[in-house]
Structures are given as structure tokens and as C-alpha cells.
């Protein structure tokens, strides 16, 4: 039987209960000063499928999650829109950038 992989959410402390109410069990409180260290620690775990980082924290800490996914095997790292500007943004730009990094060139749609 294949091993089930887990998802970890890195969130601001005040939003941890929200993610737990959504049913996510592994929610770690972080801030802009600790998020990079925590990502580095989690990136080496083989039992994780994904690391979800609140977009506002990633931006405050100047973390480019797309470049983190290029550095070896491990869980996928992505952001969760958590503030109005991020919730209103068109996600196609992020996914187009992600796809172009994965396949090596930009696709036109």
C-alpha cells in the first residue's frame, strides 16, 4: 500500500485556527523572519506532498516559491492567497510563469 503524503500550511499565527477549521491538520505558525528557515526544514521531508505558504508572508520575506521548486526533489511549494490583493489577482499569470519554468518556454493561449 502506498504511503500517504501530508500537506503542511505555513500561516500567520492568527490564521492557524482558520486552516484547522478547514480540516488541515499540519498548520505551522510563521512570520517573515522564520518562514524561510521553516521551508528549508520541511523541504527535506519525504513524507510531505506539498508546503502551502500564505502569499503575504512569502512576499514579506521575499521568497520566490517557483525557484524553490527548481532546487531538487521534495514537496511542491506553493502559495495560498490570503489577502484581498492576492485573492483578486488573476492566477493565470502565476501558472503561466510556473509552466514556463517547468517546460522551459512560454506558451501562448
Report residue 88 as a C-alpha cell: 483578486
Distance CA(48)–CA(99), nearest Å, equals: 22
Distance CA(79)–CA(54), nearest Å, equals: 5
The Cβ-side half-sphere exposure at 4, using a 13 Å CA radius, reads 2
- Specify the pTM: 0.77
CA angle at 9 for the pair 17 and 94, rounded to the nearest 5°: 125
Distance CA(5)–CA(45), nearest Å, equals: 10
CB atoms < 10 A from the CB of 96, how many? 15
Report residue 8 as a C-alpha cell: 503542511
Tens place of pLDDT per residue across the chain (109 aa)? 567 789 999 999 999 999 999 899 999 999 999 999 999 999 989 899 999 999 899 999 999 887 887 766 788 888 888 766 655 666 666 666 656 655 555 555 5
Amino acid at each position: 500500500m502506498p504511503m500517504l503524503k501530508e500537506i503542511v500550511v505555513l500561516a500567520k499565527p492568527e490564521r492557524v485556527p482558520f486552516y484547522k477549521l478547514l480540516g488541515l491538520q499540519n498548520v505551522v505558525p510563521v512570520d517573515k523572519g522564520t518562514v524561510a528557515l521553516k521551508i528549508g526544514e520541511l523541504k527535506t521531508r519525504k513524507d510531505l506532498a506539498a508546503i502551502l505558504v500564505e502569499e503575504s508572508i512569502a512576499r514579506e520575506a521575499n521568497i520566490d516559491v517557483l525557484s524553490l521548486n527548481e532546487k531538487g526533489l521534495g514537496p511542491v511549494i506553493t502559495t495560498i492567497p490570503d489577502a484581498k490583493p492576492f485573492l483578486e489577482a488573476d492566477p493565470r499569470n502565476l501558472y503561466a510563469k510556473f509552466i514556463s519554468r517547468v517546460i522551459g518556454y512560454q506558451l501562448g493561449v
